[in-house]
């Protein structure tokens, strides 16, 4: 190979190297800056193909999508000094590329570590301003809105990061107090059960007393009605007997005597000691006696 050919190859390789270091591409999901000797010369490069001075300038690309910071569960104290275990996460993305690079050297791990400390501090302050009920349910949404606004302000100022949202995934009691809380809840439920049973017994006694009263009233009214019917029947029977007696006194006396005989001699073991001449046997004699 001649010297001229070797020189041509070297020049071509040098041109390729220079060309390779003169262009860079920024994707739609990325944010980029251009540095010249360590100093930022372009703080927000738009997506697309761009030119830079080879060996003098360098481009740094960062993920510009919405990212998630999932923090470890932390222990916080409420306004009443009650401990809570809070599990939370934050949604963030790069807002100011130059500030982000200056504060974190463009490293996501450093950014999330500093953002995590700020999130922990903000949650501690917000939880400490509220009671247990407010943190768990009463003002939970307001707590997340407040911490999002506070964290976004500080993260923009210090890290060039926009905090889009902060969410509390779970709020639990520490393990050491779970047992006592469960015991207290169990005792409370037992007390409520006793109250319900006592009220049920009281209501049952009232229902039974009312039923007994209604039973006595119904029986009394039925007895009264039966006595009234019986009285009416006796009165009608007496009237019929009286009418029959007035029409034929002798036949009425005969009928009554026969009834008396049937009732007196119904049982063979009965013994009657009477005078044979008594009026009781007058219809058993051959003829009726004249008075």
> Which residues, other chains included, contact 156 with Cβ-Cβ below 8 Å and sequence gap of 6+?
95, 96, 162, 163
Instruction: Confirm whether 79 is domain-assigned.
Output: yes
Q: For the chain, how many structural domains are there in total? A: 2
Residue 97, number of CB atoms within 10 A of its CB:
23
My answer on whether 109 and 13 are in the same domain is: no
- Say if residue 51 is exposed, middle or buried (CB neighbours under 10 Å; 0-12, 13-18, 19+): exposed
Residues spanned by the domain of 172: 67-179
Length of the chain (residues): 291
Could you give the angle at the alpha carbon of 91 between the alpha carbons of 85 and 93, nearest 5°?
145
Q: Which helix (H) or strand (E) holds 224?
A: helix 175-247
Could you give the angle at the alpha carbon of 197 between the alpha carbons of 191 and 199, nearest 5°?
105
Contact between 49 and 23 (Cβ < 8 Å): yes
pLDDT of residue 270: 66
Q: Tokens 């009920």 belong to which residue?
A: 133
My answer on whether 74 and 175 are in the same domain is: yes
Task: Single out the residue of 203, 199, 197, 130 nearest to residue 168, CA to CA.
Answer: 130
Contact between 151 and 166 (Cβ < 8 Å): yes
Residue 164: strand, helix, or coil: strand
Cα–Cα distance, 18 to 40 (Å, whole number) = 21
My answer on whether 88 and 22 are in the same domain is: no
Task: Single out the residue of 284, 244, 241, 277 nearest to residue 261, CA to CA.
Answer: 284
Task: Look up residue 113 and give its two tokens.
Answer: 């570590």
My answer on whether 76 and 170 are in the same domain is: yes
CATH of the domain at 120: 3.30.479.30
pTM: 0.55
pLDDT of residue 289: 46
My answer on whether 50 and 95 are in the same domain is: no
My answer on whether 40 and 111 are in the same domain is: no
Show which of 130, 164, 179 is a domain's final residue.
179
pLDDT per residue rounded down to tens, the chain (291 residues): 566 666 666 766 766 666 666 778 888 888 888 888 878 787 778 888 878 777 777 888 888 899 999 988 888 888 888 888 889 999 999 999 989 988 998 888 999 999 999 999 999 998 898 888 888 877 788 888 999 999 999 999 999 999 999 998 888 877 766 677 677 788 888 889 999 999 999 999 999 999 999 999 999 999 999 999 999 998 888 888 777 777 777 777 777 777 777 777 666 676 666 666 666 666 666 554 444
- Say if residue 90 is exposed, middle or buried (CB neighbours under 10 Å; 0-12, 13-18, 19+): buried
Beta strands at 161-172 and 83-94: parallel, antiparallel or unpaired: antiparallel
Backbone phi, psi, residue 170, to 5° = -155, 145
> Which residues, other chains included, contact 13 with Cβ-Cβ below 8 Å and sequence gap of 6+?
none
My answer on whether 89 and 11 are in the same domain is: no
């Amino acid at each position: 190979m001649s010297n001229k050919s070797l020189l041509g190859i070297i020049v071509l390789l040098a041109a390729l190297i220079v060309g390779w270091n003169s262009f860079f591409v920024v994707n739609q999901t990325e944010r980029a800056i251009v540095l010249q000797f360590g100093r930022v010369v372009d703080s927000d490069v738009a997506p697309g193909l761009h030119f830079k001075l080879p060996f003098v300038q360098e481009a740094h690309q960062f993920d510009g999508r919405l990212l998630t910071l999932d923090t470890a569960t932390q222990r916080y104290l409420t306004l009443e000094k009650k401990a809570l275990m809070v599990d939370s996460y934050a949604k963030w993305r790069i807002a100011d590329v130059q500030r982000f690079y200056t504060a974190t050297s463009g490293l996501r791990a450093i950014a999330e570590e500093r953002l995590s400390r700020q999130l922990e501090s903000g949650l501690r302050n917000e939880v400490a301003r509220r009671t247990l009920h407010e943190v768990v349910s009463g003002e939970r949404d307001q707590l997340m809105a407040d911490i999002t606004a506070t964290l976004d302000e500080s993260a923009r100022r210090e890290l060039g990061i926009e905090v889009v949202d902060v969410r509390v995934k779970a709020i639990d009691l520490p393990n050491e107090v779970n047992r006592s809380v469960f015991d207290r809840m169990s005792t409370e439920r037992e007390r409520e059960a006793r109250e319900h049973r006592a009220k049920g017994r009281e209501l049952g006694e009232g229902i039974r007393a009312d039923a007994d009263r209604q039973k006595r009233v119904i029986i009394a009214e039925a007895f009264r009605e039966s006595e009234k019917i019986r009285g009416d029947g006796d009165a009608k029977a007496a009237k019929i007997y009286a009418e029959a007696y007035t029409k034929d006194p002798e036949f009425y006396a005969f009928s009554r005597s026969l009834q008396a005989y049937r009732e007196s001699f119904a049982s063979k073991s009965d013994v009657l000691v009477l005078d044979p001449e008594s009026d009781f046997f007058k219809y058993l004699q051959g003829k009726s006696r004249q008075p």
